[in-house]
Amino acid sequence: MTARADHLVGVLGGMGPAATADFYARLIQHTPASRDQEHLRVVIWADPTVPDRVSAVLEGTDGPYPAMLAGARRLCELGVTVAAMPCNTAHVFLPRLVADTGLPFVDMIEETVGALTRAGTAPRAVGLLGTRGIVHSRLYQDRLRAAGIRPVEPGPEVQAEVDAAIRAVKRGELATAGDHAVAAVRRLAGGTVDAVVLACTELPVALRDSDRAGLPLLVDPTEQLAVAVVTTCLGAEAHRAG
């Protein structure tokens, strides 16, 4: 087992920047530590100039891949022992990144679906809020179905609210983002879902200061990824609840 201080967590980030900052904050929050020296060593490669992931997934092109690969190669060269990519849509390229670099990525989608099924009573129907790219990719839907959970996709009006929330986070307009994200959750939850997956890392940022009263259970992949990375690094040591 690698000792805590020998681990180097690599973050392939910047997609987008606020989501990467959010992920790093959760990683720190979930690491049991009483002083700096007990925290994890982390290197973050945050390149927001990576071309748009959503249009690439929708059009079936690999526009963002070369920049993502370049970033992953830098993390490799730095000696990363555990890697994370806090962007759901970018996970479409994860298998290729792993094949090309061998970086030991923790898969955010796998961790999120795993957390849902590990819960005492797994939900029967789960709503999905994310970019048009992640919805189109079916990464979440296929894994949820395989776990016996029915995925509920956003309709056009919900998707428009999600898109507006994501764009607002990237502009730094968090209050506007929160309003759109809450509207998206409410509309989707109007159906019969037991929980909603915030399947774009900008959505937890959007909802950070929002009033969640009356909203269904929100499942946050950023949180699941942070917990999984800490658990991978600390092994049997328990992680601290956030």
Site string for a copy of itself, 47-86 (x = CB under 8 A): xxxxxx---------------------x---x--------
Pick between residue 64 and residue 123 the one whose CB is nearest to a copy of itself.
Answer: 64
The dihedral over CA atoms of 14, 210, 214, 147, expressed in degrees to the nearest 10, equals: 10
Residue whose pair of structure tokens reads 């809020």 in the numeric block: 129
Rounded to the nearest 5°, which phi and psi values hold at 148? 80, 20
What one-letter code names the amino acid at 85? M
CB of 44 to a copy of itself, least distance (A): 4
By beta-carbon proximity to a copy of itself, the closer residue of 16 and 133 is 16
Which one of 12, 15, 165, 196 is in contact with a copy of itself (CB under 8 A)? 15
From CA 84, how far away is CA 108, in angstroms rounded? 8
Min dist CB 240 to a copy of itself, Å, is 7
Q: Is 76 annotated as catalytic?
A: no
Specify burial of residue 103 (Cβ count, 10 A radius: 0-12, 13-18, 19+). Answer: buried
Which is the catalytic residue, given 15, 199, 200, 234?
Answer: 200
Q: Does 29 bind a copy of itself (CB under 8 A)?
A: yes
CB 172, CB 166: distance < 8 Å: no
Dist CA 235 CA 214 (whole Å): 36
Residues involved in catalysis: 87, 200
Note the residues at the interface with a copy of itself (CB under 8 A). Answer: 5, 14-18, 20-21, 24-25, 28-29, 31, 33-52, 74, 78, 167, 170-172, 240
